[in-house]
Amino acid sequence: MPRSSHTAPGLPSRQQILDFLASSATPAGKRELARAFGLKGQEKIALKALLRDMADEGLIDGEKRAFHRMGGVPKVTVLRVVAIDDGETLAIPDSWAPDDASPPPRLRLVERKKDSALKVGDRVLARTEEAGSGWLAHPMKKLPASADQLLGVVEIDGAGKGWLAPIDKRVRNATLIADLGGAEAGNLVLAEPAGRSARAGVKVTQVLGDPLAPRAFSLIAIHKHGIPHVFSQETLDEAARAARLPLDAERREDLRALPIVAIDPIDARDHDDAIWAEPDGAGGFRAVVAIADVAFYVRPGGAIDREARRRGNSVYFPDRVVPMLPEVLSAEIRTAGSPSGASPARSCGSPR
C-alpha cells in the first residue's frame, strides 16, 4: 500500500497507525506499516520504538510480527472501580486505550457479599460476560495497588495535553498524562505508569478532587514522606493463608465466660485491647487485659514480618490508617469466641 496523499512525510502519528490497522483486513506488522507509510532507514527504527510504546499504552496488541487495534472486553481481565452508586459497583477495563470515539465500557460488578469491600480506585481480576446491551463482571481476586503510584495535580497545556505536576517538590519535572481518566485541570489525582517505557506517560487511576480539601492532606503526607502504604502480593497471600489458621485452643485459657469489654469504640476496625476487672474482696481489684496475639499469625522471617519491620508501626490520619499489617489480619475477619467485634490478630492473646 503506497503512502496516501494526505500523509505527512516522516513517522506516522498514533492515530494514523490505528486507522491503518482498523482498515487492514489482516493484522499488519512493522514491515507492512513501514511500506504503507514509505518509511526508510532511521524512520523504521523510530517506528519500532513507537509500536513498542503503543503496545505499552494498550493502544495495540499482538505478537512481534503482527499488530491489531485493541477492542472489546476479554473474558478475564483487570478492572478498575470507578463508581459506587446505591450499592452498585461500576468498573472499567484497567488498560483501556483512550479513544474519544470509543469510551471504555462500564461493567457492573456482581459481588457475592452484600456489603462491598471495594472502593473507588481498587483493581480486581474479574470474569466478564455480556448481559443484554451491557456487561457484567464477577470479581475473582482483588489486586494490590501499584507500588509505582504517583500523586499530583493535573495541568493542561496550551495544546490540550495533560501533565501531572508532582506534589513532592523534590520531583521537578511534570509527567505526560496518557489517559486523564475523567480528570480535569486542577484535580488532585492518583496515577500510575501507562506502560513499561517512561515515554508511555501515566494514566489517572483515581480523581481525588480539590488538592486543598481536608482528606487530601493525608494522601499528600503519605507520598511526600514516603510512608509505605502498598502491600506486595506475596505479603497479601501470606496474610490470607495466616487468617485461615485454626486457633490452638488447647494451649489457651478460655476466658469467654468473662464479660470482657473492648476498649476501642464499636466502629473501630482494629480492636486490639480488651479489659475486665472486679473487686478482689481485699480492697483492690483483679484485672484481666486481653491483647492481640499477633505472633500466632506473623511468623519470624516471613513476608508479613519483613513488611512489618519496614513499616515499624501503623500510621493514623484523621481520615485513614496506613496499617502495619494487612487488613485481612488487623480488621476484616472475626473469630468466634473473641470479644465482640474483635479481629483474630487483635483478640486471641492470653491475659497479662
Three-class SS of the chain: CCCCCCCCCCCCCHHHHHHHHHHCCCCECHHHHHHHCCCCCHHHHHHHHHHHHHHHCCCEEECCCCEEECCCCCCEEEEEEEEEECCEEEEEECCCCCCCCCCCCCEEECCCCCCCCCCCCCEEEEEEEEECCEEEEEEEEEECCCCCCEEEEEEECCCCCEEEEECCCCCCCCEEEEECCCCCCCCEEEEEECCCCHHHCEEEEEEEECCCCHHHHHHHHHHHCCCCCCCCHHHHHHHHHHHCCCCCHHHCCCCCCCCCEECCCCCCCCCCEEEEEEECCCCCEEEEEEECCHHHCCCCCCHHHHHHHHHCCCEECCCCEECCCCHHHHHHCCCCCCCCCCCHHHHCCCEC
CATH class of the structural domain 14-69: mainly alpha
Cell of 205: 487511576
* pLDDT tens digits in sequence order for the chain, 352 residues long: 444 433 445 788 888 887 787 676 666 788 888 888 888 888 888 888 888 777 766 567 655 556 655 555 677 778 888 888 777 888 888 766 544 446 678 888 988 765 557 777 788 888 888 776 678 888 888 877 666 778 889 999 988 889 998 876 666 788 899 888 888 999 998 888 877 677 778 888 888 888 888 778 888 888 778 788 888 888 988 998 988 888 777 788 888 888 988 887 777 767 778 899 999 999 999 999 888 788 888 989 999 999 999 999 989 888 888 889 988 887 765 543 343 334 444 333 333 3
Choose which CATH entry (3.40.50.300, 3.30.70.1150, 3.30.70.360, 2.40.50.140) describes domain 76-143. Answer: 2.40.50.140
pLDDT at 304: 93
82, 125 Cβ separation under 8 angstroms: no
Put residue 276 in one of left, alpha, beta given phi > 0 → left and psi -120 to 50 → alpha.
Answer: beta
Is the overall model pTM greater than 0.75, yes or no?
no
Query: What span, in angstroms and rounded, lies between the C-alpha atoms of 192 and 148?
Result: 6
Amino acid at 233: Q
The ranges assigned to domains in the chain are 14-69, 76-143, 150-224, 234-347
Nearest to 326 by CA among 342, 348, 351, 304: 304
Query: What span, in angstroms and rounded, lies between the C-alpha atoms of 188 and 206?
Result: 9
pLDDT at 25: 64
First to last CA, the chain: 82
Query: Within 10 Å of residue 330's Cβ, how many Cβ atoms?
Result: 24
Query: What span, in angstroms and rounded, lies between the C-alpha atoms of 288 and 262?
Result: 12
* Distance (Å) of CA 5 to CA 18, 34, 41, 43, 248: 17, 16, 21, 18, 78
Looking at domain 150-224, which CATH architecture does it have?
Answer: Beta Barrel (2.40)
Query: What span, in angstroms and rounded, lies between the C-alpha atoms of 157 and 112?
Result: 44
Tally of CA atoms within 13 A in the half-sphere of 47 that contains its CB: 23
| Topology alike, domains 76-143 and 150-224 | yes
